[in-house]
Chains A and B, each alone.
Chain A
Amino acid sequence: MLVKVFVTPRKGILDPQGRAVEQSLKSLGFAGVGAVRVGRYIVLELDAESVEQARETARRMCVQLLANPNIEDYSFEVEPREAGSR
């Protein structure tokens, strides 16, 4: 399976990077930009029996290491891959 994990600063938590990027986009003339959050994208391969099992593993990975629930939100996508397609 291919697991794609997205980690973003939790809403309500100050995100200085997001704010700086937002200012820069506005100064470039992009109108209507708001609420920019800068996060992290982690992609990994995972051997799993099923998509459900891979999702459960991914969730545990997020809680235990990939995201800090104090300050970050996470989401992930699982894509089935043919065996040997690596």
Chain B
Amino acid sequence: MKWGVVRFPGSLDDADALWALKHVMGQEARALWHKDEDLADVQCVVLPGGFSYGDYLRCGAIARFAPIMKSVVRFANDGGLVLGICNGFQILCEAHLLPGALTRNRSLSFICEWVSVRVENAATPFTCAARQGEVLRLPIKHGEGLYVAPADELGAMEERGQVLLRYTDAAGRQNGAANPNGSTRAIAGVANEAFNVFGLMPHPEHAVEAALGGEDGLKIFRSIIMSVEQASAGTLTDTSSSTSLV
């Protein structure tokens, strides 16, 4: 399938995301320049990690106004798949494509470590290659990853299954020590109501080869590929059945 990875000034992990997609997963992936408005024919847009526009004002606050974001918002509103990793998650929140916001870690320290996250909803385009309740080992590296949202909104999100990943210990149990940044309800990743936009603080693109320390990140990318393939297979099936009726 065809992927586009947006490159903002200050993006850091765009090259790593492209590496993971092209060289590890054999996908067709290209960089998308922040000043362009053309997403070409990509089937999934990735907003990578980093410090877009120096994280000035608030993380993601300026990137939201980049020319390409107009197209990304339109793409998302039309049902296109959008994956925001770390700074990409922050940008999606600032762009109101995802609920809530990300703020300073409880510890006030930048955290760079491997964490465990539990898959809370495996019935989405971003998690369908994982099992419900499966624990993934992924790295985080951020200073502002504490997820917050209004309490009533959080309740509604949980009911709709929009919390896709939650920080846990390696056995999948929730406890305070296993919540690295102090996120509300230990939330590590959320989807929008339509489940076509997903943001997460951990970095799946940095966990795609044993040499990097783990391969669990592949499950996120595989999920997206599976869901796109199923969607196009579904379209083909529909066409063939209607043809046979004729």
Q: How far is the CA of A20 from the CA of B93 in the complex (A)?
A: 26
Question: Which of B67-75, B81-89, B145-153, B214-222 lies on the face that meets chain A?
Answer: B145-153
Question: Contact at B57–A65, with CB atoms within 8 Å?
Answer: yes
> Considering the complex, which residues of chain A in the window 5-26 have a beta carbon less than 8 Å from any beta carbon of chain B?
9, 13-14, 16-17, 20
CB nearest neighbor in B for A40: B57
Question: Contact at A14–B150, with CB atoms within 8 Å?
Answer: no
Bitwise interface map of A from 53 to 73 toward B, beta carbon under 8 Å scored 1, else 0: 000000000000110101100
Question: Contact at A17–B108, with CB atoms within 8 Å?
Answer: yes
Q: How far is the CA of A9 from the CA of B146 in the complex (A)?
A: 13
> Considering the complex, which residues of chain B in the window 76-115 have a beta carbon less than 8 Å from any beta carbon of chain A?
93-94, 100-101, 103-108
Among B57, B100, B103, contact of A66 (Cβ-Cβ < 8 Å): B57
Question: Contact at B94–A68, with CB atoms within 8 Å?
Answer: yes
Residues of A within 8 A of B150 (CB): 70
Question: Contact at A65–B182, with CB atoms within 8 Å?
Answer: no
Residues of B within 8 A of A40 (CB): 57
- What class of interface size applies to chain A in its complex with B? 10 to 19
B226 located at the interface, meaning its Cβ lies under 8 Å from any Cβ of chain A in the complex: no
B15 located at the interface, meaning its Cβ lies under 8 Å from any Cβ of chain A in the complex: no
Residues of B within 8 A of A14 (CB): 103, 106, 146, 148, 182
B61 located at the interface, meaning its Cβ lies under 8 Å from any Cβ of chain A in the complex: yes
CB nearest neighbor in B for A70: B101
B141 located at the interface, meaning its Cβ lies under 8 Å from any Cβ of chain A in the complex: no
Q: Determine how close the nearest CB of chain B comes to the CB of A64; give it in whole angstroms.
A: 9
Question: Contact at A68–B100, with CB atoms within 8 Å?
Answer: no
Residues of B within 8 A of A17 (CB): 104, 108
Contacts A13-B148, A16-B106, A17-B108 known; A70 to B100 CB distance under 8 Å?
yes
Residues of A within 8 A of B30 (CB): none
CB pairs A–B below 8 angstroms (15 shown): A13-B103, A14-B106, A14-B146, A14-B148, A16-B104, A16-B105, A16-B107, A16-B108, A40-B57, A65-B61, A68-B94, A70-B93, A70-B101, A71-B101, A71-B148
Extra contacts besides A13-B148, A16-B106 (10): CB < 8 Å: A14-B146, A14-B182, A16-B108, A16-B146, A16-B182, A17-B108, A68-B101, A70-B93, A70-B148, A70-B149
Which residues of B approach A to under 8 Å, CB–CB?
57-58, 61, 65, 93-94, 100-101, 103-108, 146, 148-150, 182
